[in-house]
Structure 1
């Protein structure tokens, strides 16, 4: 019985001291940032809202991943590819059965080590855009050509 109590006490103390610190969880927004897109009127060039927006992204598998519908939106966060591809294709439309515009986001990536819990995050630099299919979106403007966090708008889509 004496050895059993010693075994239980050793297991309890082992579990108590083996708990990790705060760096085990990446909760302070230090992961790979998403790209923030805003919307402007093509006629006036002033920022505004879009009543309905459907976004899909091709992450390199050849199929589009639907990011869903948003209503009355002034900006949207889009996750970019995290592999070593130099671009991400984004598909935007304003109606469910409507035509879509294809926007290609070109960039260079840089890997930055954050912590043991978060691992490595990607930052995007030298951001450029190409409007491949100009149907709904008339023009694309780059406002900030690097993505380090999700606070500032990187590109504007002109409708």
Structure 2
């Protein structure tokens, strides 16, 4: 009986040592994986900027009661939803190799939609290891392919590096 007790005690000690070693390895692995610099988080607006569109009525900036945008991203058209009491809207453009993005603009649920084509060239800029690269848009111009409710398009700043400046004006 003493022999069995001695064998069981030896197995318990060996397994306990293995469990401690495994637990230590897991803790050290988790600490190493969770370590990272602040530049791993891309939250400071370093990503690809959106295009800012403002609205005009004749020659004056205006606020629209409601506006709805659909954006054609090539593989699908995305509904950006209704914006209420808006004087501007930020629109993400395509990030593939396409030189344009099509926007469909509505001001009423049952009304027609205008088709606006935004043309541009892209320039890729490296940001950080966490964010990777972002696209800046250059030579931005708009083209009204189908009117009503939009009457015409007026140009704004012709490049997009951030979301501060207006790039297009939609005239209603």
Fold conserved between structures, TM > 0.5: yes
Q: Of the candidates 6, 26, 29, which is equivalent to residue 42 of structure 2?
A: 26
Pairing 1:48–2:62 present: yes
Q: Which residue is equivalent to 1:140? A: 153
Q: Of the candidates 77, 85, 97, which is equivalent to residue 98 of structure 2?
A: 85
Q: Which residue is equivalent to 2:74? A: 60
SS in 2 for 1:18: helix
CA distance in 2, matches of 1:127, 1:93: 22
Q: CA deviation at 1:8?
A: 1.7
Q: CA deviation at 1:21?
A: 2.1
Segments of 5+ residues of structure 2 without an aligned counterpart are: 1-15
Q: Which structure dedicates a bigger proportion of its chain to helix?
A: 2
**Pairwise CA RMSD of aligned residues?**
1.3
* Structure showing greater relative contact order (alpha-carbon pairs closer than 8 Å, 6 or more residues apart): 1
CA distance in 1, matches of 2:41, 2:165: 25
The alignment covers a number of residue pairs equal to: 156
1:81-128 C-alpha deviation (Å, 9 max, x unpaired) = 000100001111110110111111000001111112211111100011
SS in 1 for 2:52: strand
2:141–2:168 CA contact under 8 A, matched in 1: no
CA distance in 2, matches of 1:70, 1:114: 31
CA distance in 2, matches of 1:10, 1:128: 57
Q: Which residue is equivalent to 1:5? A: 20
CA distance in 1, matches of 2:92, 2:119: 14
Pairing 1:39–2:55 present: yes
After TM superposition, the score normalised by the length of structure 2 is 0.85
Structure whose CA Rg is larger? 2
Q: Which residue is equivalent to 1:74? A: 87
Segments of 5+ residues of structure 1 without an aligned counterpart are: none
